[in-house]
Amino acid sequence: MPVLAAKSNALDPVAGFVLRARRPRTSHALTVVSLFSGGGLSDAGYLAAGFEIVVQAELEPKRAAIGAANFPKSKWIVGDVRKTAGEIVKAYREQTTKPLALLVATPPCQGLSSSNPSRGKRATDNAKKNDKKNALLLRIIQVARKLKPRVIVAENVRQILTHEVYWNGAKRTVVDVLKRELPKYEFWHTTIDVANYGVPQSRTRAAIVGIRKIEKCVAALRKAELAPIPAQTHCTAGGDGYKTWVTVRQWCEARQYPPLDASCEAKATSADPLHNVPWYDEERYRLIADIPKHSGKSAYDNDTCPNCDTKVGTTSHANCPHCGKPLWNRPIKRGKGRPRLITGFLSSYRRMRSDRPSATITTNSSHVGSDWKIHPFENRVLSARECGDLQTVPHWYSWAAALEDRQRYLVRTLIGEALPPYFTYLHGRVLASLLRTGKITAKRLLTSND
């Protein structure tokens, strides 16, 4: 696949979407209510697809303040959706008399996310503490009954499709509850990886879509055995009508980001307030620098003693077998007794692979020890600017409210929480076409598996 052009977007729609500096216009014909909106990053995709964002709900005031600066015409409801559902409904009816086109829900996913230490252990006490949060998606039912949206879209980590909740005294999957409680809707559900749509990042998510059965497009979709979700356009190696995945190396080199280095503050910062990274002392820096560029290896694989410069191989020791001193270019923990290796996943302290889309951008993207967080060929983690671009956050989105309020950590947090706006843009275009025409006019839709 050719290297992406840094400024040209004619042949690179993803880069064109990201680099757009002007806020897109909307027709105001199709309205949106967004629950668990965060800073509205995923909503930006629906906006670009021509939807009008009317009401956005968010628990945290600081997140809502950043979002409100980017969606000034939308009414922001701050508070727990479990308590503000009535306020959300009232706000929509005060804002417009149009029937609601799209109700979106992207709730937090504590206890289910693959980045959670207890992932897969749903019966543990720690996982049970998050049961109420994991059932937040079902709060869509109360709002849907009142506003009767033409379409419902819910997004979460893929585990939500098999996760069971107690509902009316029985254990049921989330999709089953939605079907039972909203019988006037036809539902589809699947998992998608945004890398399959040209996004330079691997991020797997569950998508649940419900459309009112009275909509003309429902019969057409069922007859064609298609789901109201765009079909993938990319795959690992391309071929059979698919384009090749966009690799993180292709993306970064095409964007021509100013080089950064974590060895000192001067080299770790740039003129762009979002393009900077943490810097480290000599030992922590050596831990990163000793990992070969483009290798996809981790600091656990560093095989040269930083004290005596002797090859030690890929041993599982924290001390050099030759000089006996700590191998501080490996992730070790010092304290009482002998140093020991820090325990962690195989993806910890690891460079991203250059020949693949980036690893999933998470909320802790600044932590070098987390999963696949080290830059593929520079000695540092990714900057917030790079994370935002890999998440396809458009450049018209302003982070000024966070930067001026010294809430830089929220930038990375909101970026890591979002479903990439480029995917919601593609999905929004599909949904807008179905609602406006009642027909299947999109070139390719996902085959239904429901």
In a domain, 408, yes or no: no
Q: Pick the closest to residue 369 from 108, 126, 111, 117 (CA basis).
A: 117
Domain end residue (candidates: 382, 406, 432): 382
For 100, the domain range is 13-244+419-447
pLDDT band at 347; cut points 50, 70, 90:
confident
The yes-or-no verdict on residue 18 having pLDDT over 70 is: yes
The yes-or-no verdict on residue 156 having pLDDT over 50 is: yes
Average pLDDT over every residue of 213-218: 97
Give the angle 221-145-227 at the CA atoms, nearest 5°: 15
The yes-or-no verdict on residue 122 having pLDDT over 80 is: no
Say yes or no: 168 and 304 in one domain. Answer: no
> How does pLDDT run across 101-114, given as a tens digit for each residue?
999 999 986 555 54
Say yes or no: 308 and 215 in one domain. Answer: no
Average pLDDT over every residue of 282-306: 95
Inter-residue contact 344 to 331 (CB < 8 Å): yes
* pTM for this predicted structure: 0.92
The yes-or-no verdict on residue 398 having pLDDT over 60 is: yes
Share of the chain above pLDDT 70, in %: 91
Whichever domain contains 103, its CATH number is 3.40.50.150
When mean pLDDT is compared across 140-154, 328-342, 387-401, the lowest value belongs to 328-342
How high is the pLDDT of residue 334?
80
Q: Pick the closest to residue 70 from 425, 387, 414, 382 (CA basis).
A: 414
Say yes or no: 217 and 282 in one domain. Answer: no
Average pLDDT over every residue of 203-214: 97
The yes-or-no verdict on residue 14 having pLDDT over 70 is: yes
Q: CA torsion 433→57→183→31, rounded to 10°?
A: -30
In a domain, 253, yes or no: no
